Amino acid sequence: MNHFESFIKEMKDFLNPDSVYTMDGSDGEAQRLVEEAQKTEVDGRIVLQKLNQEIYPNSYYHRSNPNDVARTEHLTFVCAPTKEEAGPNNNWIEPKEAKEKMDSLFKNSMKGRTMYVIPFVMGNPKSKYAKNCVEITDSIYVALSMRIMARVGAEAIKSIGDSADFFKGIHSIGDVNPERRFIMHFPQDNMVMSFGSGYGGNALLGKKCYSLRIASYLGYKEGWLAEHMIIIGVEAPDGKITYFLGAFPSACGKTNLALLEPIFKGYKVWTLGDDIAWLNIGADGKLYAINPESGFFGVAPGTADKTNPVMMKTLKNNKFYPTLFTNTAIDKNDNTPWWEGLGNIPENLSDWQGTQYTDKTKPAAHPNSRFTVSVYNCPTLSKEYDNPNGVPISGIIFGGRRKDTAPLVCECKDWASGVFAASSIGSETTAAASGAQGTVRRDPMAMLPFCGYNMGDYFNHWLNIGKKLKNPPKIFVVNWFRKDEKGNFIWPGFRDNSRVLKWMIDRIEGKTGARESEIGLFPQENALDLSGLNLSKENIDKLLNVDRQEWKKEIVLIEEFYSKFGEKIPKELRDALQNLKNKING
């Protein structure tokens, strides 16, 4: 028995399922599992319902328990040997105690159920940056979702071979009880145990749990970075493609930017990833990125022909089987998924909990309702998506959701100033995580909920990577979400964000100068192409301005955040903060 086989045996003995099924990743298997899911009831609901196959080919609908609709950060733990290693950015329990707690929940938990074994690879198996993984689950929905999100099956089993070096993810939806719900990470053991939730980020363990929390720790040990970032290639009219990374907190438009249709003729965005990027220093000293995932797990509300036409095409494409919709509403007239932003409210609509939609004060689709769709359905998928070496990065964009303070765009002077800006960036919370929405919290590199070790060490690791890079990418900070006094968004966002990308390319190519400010470099007068936009001079000024009063308050918040990490905050960042303070006060 090799290590993979003995892991399966160990899990079978421990979890005590009625049957064990190891996924081979074939099309036939997907068909069979989808058929079965349409007959299977879990937690009082049929797992999948077939949607209108003419309008949404290969699409199926899943409705979750209403208590299980988002990531639960307060139930998520990083069980490093010491609290200090996990850092103030993570909940921590001593590993032995955590393991015992989880063992008591998991023991015999699959009695009467099927145990699905999901061998998978994050990244192209041919890439030296790819990682081998196995997830055990009792959820057929998770098994099918994983097939979309990762390279599942025979290829993964081959890649694991006789090796003992693979990630172990152990998942059970248990009884979907928030009192018995925990997502425990054991970075030192390359293992995650997740109990009591079927929701994406809690249950698809290849995603946030492995490819960010565990992988960020591996990256720290091994000299690379696992980041919450999109990867895109922006093609200019001369045919040249500039590769960007973009880090934004969940539900801040990452997927829209990843599949952007630029408003300018001759420009094109090629998609490589919409959520996670693994960054390595290539042999030539440049920063290279791969997307470890193979699917999009995107927020449905707000996705429409106007805001994200490419995603609408992706969702209606029929190349990869299946596509899943979770917790959207359903238009009962034509059996299609529906969500806020798609247009007029259909007459005969059932809401995300399956009841007739009548109370129009509440949304019909859950604000965090999602689609799960293969990247291979995406018409703008980059030819380089599967390149084992990844793509060379020229620009990194950090963003947050702020109604004030943060300007539309600002370029950082160098890598260290970029790391400072990213380490201190704030954003208003969204529906992607349970808890209060709209409160500003620091969310460094959009990694606050995903960094699997002490963020002070993480900042230092970022600075060190920069020192090793030969030609470090330029770093930009953006905010699409500025509001005016009346509470309306000033910047149109969505496809118009290509205006900002165009300016960034000009900067990367050295075609335009920049205006210095207290916080970084702004576009020079008229350098940002605003043609055809109806923006008042006053609003343009507001978008590209530093309000010292607002920044004084911001500095207090940054200091407060940094102070949690004590001596772990690298000196370079403390100096950068002091520098900013001097400029704002000066």
Report the catalytic residues.
252
First to last CA, the chain: 69
**Shortest CB 266 distance to Mn ion, Å:** 31
Q: Considering only the C-alpha atoms of the chain, give the largest distance between any 2 of them, rounded to a whole number of Å.
A: 71
Binding to Mn ion by CB under 5 A, coded x per residue (else -) over 217-256, reads ---------------------------------x------
Using the rule CB under 5 A, is 275 a contact of Mn ion? yes
**Shortest CB 251 distance to ligand SAT, Å:** 7
Stretch that binds Mn ion, among 37-45, 160-168, 271-279, 546-554 (CB under 5 A): 271-279
**Residue type at position 130:** A
Stretch that binds Mn ion, among 267-275, 310-318, 346-354, 528-536 (CB under 5 A): 267-275
Tell me whether residue 159 or residue 434 sits nearer to ligand SAT (CB atom).
434
E-strand ranges in 394-527 read 395-399, 409-411, 426-428, 440-442, 474-478, 514-516, 521-523
Of ligand SAT, Mn ion, none, which one does residue 542 interact with (CB within 5 to 8 Å by kind)?
none
**Shortest CB 14 distance to ligand SAT, Å:** 27
**Residue type at position 528:** L
Of Mn ion, ligand SAT, none, which one does residue 71 interact with (CB within 5 to 8 Å by kind)?
ligand SAT
Tell me whether residue 336 or residue 429 sits nearer to Mn ion (CB atom).
429
Tell me whether residue 172 or residue 427 sits nearer to Mn ion (CB atom).
427
Question: In DSSP terms, which residues pair with 478 in a beta bridge?
Answer: 399, 409
Cα separation of 406 and 481, whole Å?
9
Listed residue (279, 167, 163) closest to 216, CA to CA: 279
Cα separation of 294 and 386, whole Å?
10
DSSP label at residue 433: B
Using the rule CB under 5 A, is 216 a contact of Mn ion? no
Tell me whether residue 408 or residue 431 sits nearer to ligand SAT (CB atom).
431
Cα separation of 270 and 277, whole Å?
15
In the bound state, the residue with its beta carbon closest to ligand SAT is 201
**Shortest CB 199 distance to ligand SAT, Å:** 6
The site for ligand SAT (CB under 6 A) is made up of 71, 200-201, 207-208, 250, 275, 297, 432
Stretch that binds Mn ion, among 230-238, 268-276, 487-495, 533-541 (CB under 5 A): 268-276
**Shortest CB 228 distance to Mn ion, Å:** 6
With beta carbons less than 8 A apart as the criterion, state whether 37 and 141 touch. yes
Of Mn ion, ligand SAT, none, which one does residue 200 interact with (CB within 5 to 8 Å by kind)?
ligand SAT
Of Mn ion, ligand SAT, none, which one does residue 445 interact with (CB within 5 to 8 Å by kind)?
none
Q: How do strand 277-281 and strand 225-227 relate by DSSP bridges? A: antiparallel
Helix axes 215-222, 455-468, angle to 10 degrees: 50
Listed residue (498, 518, 244, 513) closest to 393, CA to CA: 244
Cα separation of 200 and 370, whole Å?
9
Cα separation of 585 and 132, whole Å?
51
Residues that bind Mn ion (CB under 5 A): 250, 275
